[in-house]
Chain A
Amino acid sequence: MRISENKLRGAVSNHIILMTLALTIIMPIMVLVFNSIKPDEEFGINPLGFPETVRLMNYYDAFVIGNYAQVMMNSLLLVTGTLTVCLTFSSMAAFSLAVLNPNGKATILIGIYLLVGLSIPAQLFILPLFIIWKNLHLNNTFIGLILIYSALNAPFAVFLIRSYMVQLPRELFEAAIVEGASTFQLFTRVALPLSWPVFLTTGLVVSLAVWNEFLFAVTFIHNEEFKPISTILYSFQNRREENYALISAASIMMAAPLAILFILFQRNFIAGLTSGGTKG
């Protein structure tokens, strides 16, 4: 009896602490949500609470003034472009490292190279990269930024996909070889279809990284019409500093697609984002 009473008290105090911590996250986000549906004139009298009159038109205004139809399209293009280039190239490399040459010297060398590449701070290479991109006329282009994002996310994608492909049973490949499959067919017909779960995880993490990316977007895209959502929101914030209703609605529109994906695929997201953690 005493034990269970103790346990109960313990559980209650656990929940009190956890709930307090959770509220420090929920409340600021709620303020953003409230602000996005608050009429402008209410900000002076009601800084943090739920609005007295709900004004959903803030979203429409932000969508029109921020030209969000175009901006969302830009970001979507960057995401799909990066997913295509990065996942194609990375899965080829992962296939090579996991299936074609799993124990070769090259595998270790490439592994070390990619690990070093992951740890280099962007500040070391961003300036020469900017100069190279200027000379290749890749500044201010989607393809230029897609190449950068693909390269930056490639080491992570290669490691993650490789770790999945090494677990595929070798007999499958041997059977395919006996039936006369070429190396390319081994890749497209055997390795790729069997690895789809890891592509979901990798794809989600890469999409998240590209959608939210700020440093390279602000550096490499200066034309308003090509800017992705993160840098548009940045200039939006600076230009309409005091119009919180508008920029809050704009922020929610940026966060919403990812929030929905996160709710749907929470497990994959967390597994992908923390996989660097468990591999060391």
Chain B
Amino acid sequence: MKNLSNKEMTSWLFLAPVLFIHLLVVAIPSLSSLALCFTDWNGFGKINFVGFENFLELFDDRVFKKAIIHNLIWTVLFLTVPIALALLAAFLLTGVKRFQMFYRFVFFFPYILASIVNCLIWKYLFHPIHGLAAFFKDIGWESLATSPLTTKETSLYAVAFVDGWHFWGFLVVIYITAMYQVDESLYEAADIEGASKWQTFRFVTFPSIRPMFLFSFLIIIIWSVPAFDYVYILTSGGPAYSSEVVANFMYFEAFRNMNVGYASAVGALMFVYVFTILGFFWTLRKLGWEI
């Protein structure tokens, strides 16, 4: 008996350091944020409880509403373009032997580059005078010589494009891993039946990688919520809030305006949203969906 409790003690001792730093850095601040979102604290003065006022104010905030819509557009963009491109690339890659490692290397490469480096590449290319604009001017396509990052109508899409450009190779790699686990005999059967490439993809490849596909769906939805780096570095949400997203909005409320309560309310909403999505997927899984 003594031996057993001793063993339990040791196993907790080995866990203690990680739990300590994780509680200190993530859990305790998260819980404080969930408490502070009901206050009007500004970081140093008195803390007043204000109930749901921050949330009411948020839903009246024009910029915040814009940011939410932009996050939804962002999510939909990432759920379509990178996924489609990555499925295409991964499917074609399974069919080629030569240069396969080269392609894989190239597609994945931007994923290991820092956001700041990727942003610089595209800041230059999308510059109103340099980069592609200068090139288009040279060959006489004046109408294309504008900067998508500083135009209100396109800034959000331009930022999402840069982030997507860096991200989609990650999807290629996880899809191709899944595709290589597909039973070879299924392909042979499809071949004998005379299936076209599209039919092979539609009826053999895609159903087999469905769990990985749904998983990528889930992580894209979750990762779109805190999207920050690319927006902050490329446009800071501008011009005129045309590329503002929730994470950037929260960052400025927090660190420029020191509205602790207000910013915490934004964080709390992001948290609730992420865990609703997780709960939704978890329920589907419980209901017997193959996720």
Contact = CB atoms under 8 A, between A and B. Distances in A.
Interface of A: 10-11, 14-15, 17-18, 21-22, 24-26, 28-29, 31-32, 35, 43-44, 47-48, 85, 88-90, 92-93, 95-97, 100-101, 104, 106, 110, 114, 117, 119-132, 147-148, 150-152, 154-155, 158, 183, 187, 208, 211-212, 214-215, 219, 230, 233-234, 237, 244, 247-248, 251, 254-255, 258-259, 262, 266, 269-270, 273-274, 276-278, 280
Contact of B15 (A97, A187, A248): A97
Nearest to B285: A280
User: Binding site of B, secondary structure by majority: helix, strand, loop or mixed?
Assistant: helix
B252 to A, nearest CB: 12
Contacts, number: 265
B5 interface: no
Contacts of A122: 226, 228
Contact of A25 (B26, B110, B228): B110
The A contact surface, by secondary structure, is helix
B140 interface: no
A114 B21 CA distance: 12
A17 B108 contact: no
A89 B21 contact: yes
Given A127-B33, A233-B117, A254-B116, A117 B26 contact: yes
Interface string B47-81: 00000000000000000000000000000000000
B32 A128 contact: yes
Given A96-B11, A125-B25, A128-B28, 6 more contacts: A85-B21, A154-B22, A155-B22, A237-B123, A262-B109, A270-B104
A125 B26 contact: yes
B213 to A, nearest CB: 11
B106 A35 contact: no
Interface string B30-45: 1011101000000100
A187 B14 contact: yes
Given A123-B247, A151-B21, A151-B26, A277 B11 contact: no
19 contacts: A18-B93, A18-B103, A24-B165, A47-B131, A47-B134, A93-B14, A106-B12, A110-B15, A120-B26, A126-B267, A151-B24, A208-B112, A212-B113, A215-B228, A230-B114, A233-B116, A237-B123, A248-B124, A274-B170
A148 B232 CA distance: 21
A125 B124 contact: no
B117 A25 contact: no
A18 B225 contact: no
B99 interface: yes
Contacts of A97: 15
B241 interface: no
A18 B22 contact: no
B121 A25 contact: no
Given A128-B32, A254-B117, A150 B21 contact: yes
Contacts of A15: 96, 98-99
B25 A25 contact: no
A151 B114 contact: no
Nearest to B264: A127
